[in-house]
């Protein structure tokens, strides 16, 4: 194996905690210069505008602060984590939200779940278990482009069950993608259709794959918490899995087929490895790892414990007298992983990207402040009023609108958490106001939150993979719209069929 490929497969060299300088295009440089004053202008315009009916002064401040942050997150005149700190400070100093609430987002369970997830993913890297699994998949499926792309579908679905942090999954699998792309003749200097198909299919696997598990994304857990607190319906791990996994699996199969058969059609020479001896070198690298070591067995056992606790959450009260939350299950795994002698890593080896945590805190603070101040309800309510939605509209028309609105809203609202905080409480309120069962609208809406595949700014994995130079914004848009339309159709069909059979639509008149 060449030195470059060996370095790429050394996952320990890639650290999420590192902040690496980004080389900007001419367009990005212009956006940077324009974004800074534009963000300030947006804040001042909203701060001093005539009050909207139903919008309080605090809500106006929250709306203006979020508009500023959204523009700066998109154009990046300053680092995104610094923008998040400015957002939090602006909310407090301009009396949009309380200091205790704004600073308290760092203690939210979703932040802690992310921290635990990064500790657990560090185990996979430190013990070479992730490298072993990746090399095995590449060797087993690497003889053709179609088989290789399918291997990544399986890999991303498997990792989504273990690692709730999408950014961690993107970074863990990025070296594998780069090596495989090179073997099939696609490099950043000379990207080909295989590289485009590979990276964007993986992006769909990372993002959409998260939707299959309630622990696949922190946004999923927030949505489930809203459904419990506002609608009185508790969603367990297996409830979410059985309802959404079939839809996610069908969508990823469509992504696998469409990526190389429809959107980025492969030339005959791109359908087989182009690098001489590439797979043989990968096989040799796999064989070097030898049999499973003791620390790898311990890592497998820790993950098995966490997964067991997640999957048996319905039975915890019966077994233990109390329920172990998804966060506490992940925390137990992280504690065991960090214990001297018993565990497999120490604190310095846990790759926790605190700048991403701070960025997430800003997104949570922005979304929660919009909710608490009532600004989110007012603004989204204006959209629904504009669409003319009333009780006479009919459940199924409302259902289709909510699915489409949630599926495509990621093109405007770049944070999954923020979309969850805004849309899920509002969907529950709409259902209650119109006399529909809240679960019938809120749970399918929650299933759509992780479908953030359209453009690079939609989510952290999008940014990470886009920086490889293997595809353009237009490529991302084409593949993203394709998978989003497929998903929308699947959820609409599921509402009439699969969700009815599972009982999610119980109480809807006319069924």
Q: In this model, does residue 17 exceed pLDDT 70?
A: no
Please tell me which residue, 388 or 309, carries the higher pLDDT value.
Answer: 309
Own/partner contacts of 12-16, CB < 8 Å, gap of 24 or more, are 12/125, 12/126, 14/171, 14/174, 14/175, 15/351, 16/118, 16/167, 16/168, 16/171, 16/351, 16/352, 16/353, 16/356
**Average pLDDT for residues 163-191, to the nearest whole number?**
82
Alpha-carbon dihedral sign for residues 35, 36, 42, 45:
negative
Q: In this model, does residue 70 exceed pLDDT 90?
A: no
Contact (Cβ atoms closer than 8 angstroms) between residue 207 and residue 220? no
**Average pLDDT for residues 141-149, to the nearest whole number?**
86
**Average pLDDT for residues 200-229, to the nearest whole number?**
89
Query: pLDDT tens for residues 98-117?
Result: 999 999 988 887 788 888 88
What pLDDT is stored for residue 357 in this prediction?
83
**Average pLDDT for residues 350-377, to the nearest whole number?**
82
Give me the helix-helix angle, 294-311 and 145-162, nearest 10°.
70
- Residues 6 or more apart whose Cβ sits within 8 Å of residue 355: 17, 19, 79, 80, 81
- Say how far apart CA 363 and CA 15 lie, in whole Å: 23
Q: Is 336 exposed, middle or buried (0-12, 13-18, 19+ CB in 10 A)?
A: middle
- Mean pLDDT score of the chain: 85
Buried b (16+ CB within 10 A) or exposed e, 156-168: bbebbbbbbbbbb
Q: In this model, does residue 73 exceed pLDDT 90?
A: no
How many CA atoms within 13 Å lie on the side-chain side of 505? 19
Residue 234 tokens read as 């508790």
Q: In this model, does residue 8 exceed pLDDT 50?
A: no
- Say how far apart CA 312 and CA 319 lie, in whole Å: 10
What pLDDT is stored for residue 3 in this prediction?
43
Q: In this model, does residue 426 exceed pLDDT 60?
A: yes
Q: In this model, does residue 16 exceed pLDDT 60?
A: no
Please tell me which residue, 9 or 498, carries the higher pLDDT value.
Answer: 498
| Among candidate residues 207, 130, 197, the one with its CA nearest the CA of residue 167 | 207
Q: In this model, does residue 142 exceed pLDDT 90?
A: no
Give me the helix-helix angle, 294-311 and 237-258, nearest 10°.
110
Which range is most confident: 163-172, 271-280, 332-341?
Answer: 332-341
Furthest C-alpha separation in the chain: 70
| Among candidate residues 51, 19, 8, 60, the one with its CA nearest the CA of residue 173 | 8
Measured CA to CA in angstroms, residue 450 lies from 127, 293, 444, 469 at distances of 29, 35, 12, 24
What pLDDT is stored for residue 2 in this prediction?
46
Residue 86 tokens read as 């400015």
**In the chain, pLDDT over 70 holds for what percent of residues?**
91
- Say how far apart CA 128 and CA 434 lie, in whole Å: 54
Q: Is 211 exposed, middle or buried (0-12, 13-18, 19+ CB in 10 A)?
A: buried
Q: In this model, does residue 404 exceed pLDDT 90?
A: yes
Contact (Cβ atoms closer than 8 angstroms) between residue 247 and residue 494? yes
| Among candidate residues 75, 104, 105, 69, the one with its CA nearest the CA of residue 87 | 69
Query: pLDDT tens for residues 430-477?
Result: 888 788 999 999 999 999 999 999 877 777 788 888 878 888 888 999
Q: In this model, does residue 491 exceed pLDDT 80?
A: yes
- Say how far apart CA 4 and CA 309 lie, in whole Å: 40
What pLDDT is stored for residue 275 in this prediction?
65
Tell me which residue has tokens 């846990």.
350
For 263: left if phi > 0, alpha if psi spans -120 to 50, otherwise beta; the answer is alpha
Query: pLDDT tens for residues 285-340?
Result: 788 888 999 999 999 999 999 989 998 988 999 999 998 988 899 999 999 999 99
**Average pLDDT for residues 332-360, to the nearest whole number?**
89
- Say how far apart CA 384 and CA 206 lie, in whole Å: 31
Look up residue 164 and give its DSSP letter: -
Contact (Cβ atoms closer than 8 angstroms) between residue 183 and residue 142? yes
Q: Is 374 exposed, middle or buried (0-12, 13-18, 19+ CB in 10 A)?
A: middle
């Amino acid at each position: 194996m060449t030195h470059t490929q060996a370095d790429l497969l050394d996952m320990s060299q890639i650290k999420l905690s590192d902040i690496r300088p980004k080389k900007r295009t001419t367009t990005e440089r212009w956006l940077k210069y324009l974004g800074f004053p534009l963000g300030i202008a947006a804040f001042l315009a909203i701060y001093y505008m005539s009050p909207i009916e139903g919008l309080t002064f605090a809500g106006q401040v929250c709306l203006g602060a979020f508009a500023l942050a959204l523009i700066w997150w998109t154009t990046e005149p300053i680092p995104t984590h610094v923008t998040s700190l400015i957002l939090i400070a602006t909310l407090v100093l301009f009396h949009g939200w309380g200091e205790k609430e704004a600073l308290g987002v760092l203690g939210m369970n979703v932040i802690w779940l992310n921290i635990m997830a990064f500790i657990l993913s560090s185990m996979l890297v430190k013990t070479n278990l992730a490298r072993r699994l990746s090399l095995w998949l590449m060797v087993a499926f690497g003889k053709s482009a179609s088989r290789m792309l399918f291997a990544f579908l399986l890999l991303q679905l498997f990792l989504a069950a273990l690692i709730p942090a999408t950014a961690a999954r993107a970074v863990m699998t990025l070296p594998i993608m780069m090596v495989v792309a090179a073997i099939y003749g696609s490099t950043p200097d000379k990207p080909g259709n295989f590289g485009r198909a590979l990276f964007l299919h993986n992006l769909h696997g990372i993002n959409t794959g998260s939707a299959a598990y309630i622990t696949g994304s922190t946004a999923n857990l927030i949505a489930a918490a809203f459904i419990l607190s506002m609608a009185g319906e508790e969603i367990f791990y297996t409830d979410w899995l059985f309802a959404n996994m079939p839809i996610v699996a069908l969508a990823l199969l469509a992504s696998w087929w469409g990526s190389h058969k429809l959107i980025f059609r492969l030339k005959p020479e791109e359908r087989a490895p182009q690098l001489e001896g590439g797979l043989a070198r990968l096989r040799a690298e796999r064989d070097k790892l030898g049999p499973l070591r003791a620390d790898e067995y311990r890592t497998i056992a820790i993950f098995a414990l966490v997964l067991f606790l997640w999957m048996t959450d319905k039975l915890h009260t019966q077994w233990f007298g109390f329920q172990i939350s998804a966060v506490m299950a992940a925390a137990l795994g992280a504690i065991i992983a960090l214990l001297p002698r018993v565990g497999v890593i120490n604190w310095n080896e846990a790759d926790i990207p605190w700048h991403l945590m701070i960025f997430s805190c800003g997104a949570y603070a922005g979304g929660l402040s919009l909710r608490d101040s009532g600004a989110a309800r007012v603004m989204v309510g204006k959209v629904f009023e504009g669409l003319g939605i009333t009780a006479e509209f009919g459940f199924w028309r409302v259902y289709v609108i909510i699915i489409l609105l949630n599926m495509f809203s990621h093109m405007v609202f770049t944070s999954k958490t923020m979309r969850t905080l805004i849309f899920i409480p509002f969907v529950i309120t709409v259902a209650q106001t119109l006399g529909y069962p809240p679960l019938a609208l809120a749970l399918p809406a929650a299933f759509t939150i992780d479908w953030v595949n359209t453009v690079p700014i939609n989510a952290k994995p999008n940014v990470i993979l886009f920086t490889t130079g293997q595809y353009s914004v237009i490529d991302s848009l084409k593949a993203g719209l394709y998978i989003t339309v497929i998903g929308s159709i699947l959820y609409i069909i599921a509402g009439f069929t699969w969700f009815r059979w599972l009982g999610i639509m119980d109480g809807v008149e006319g069924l």
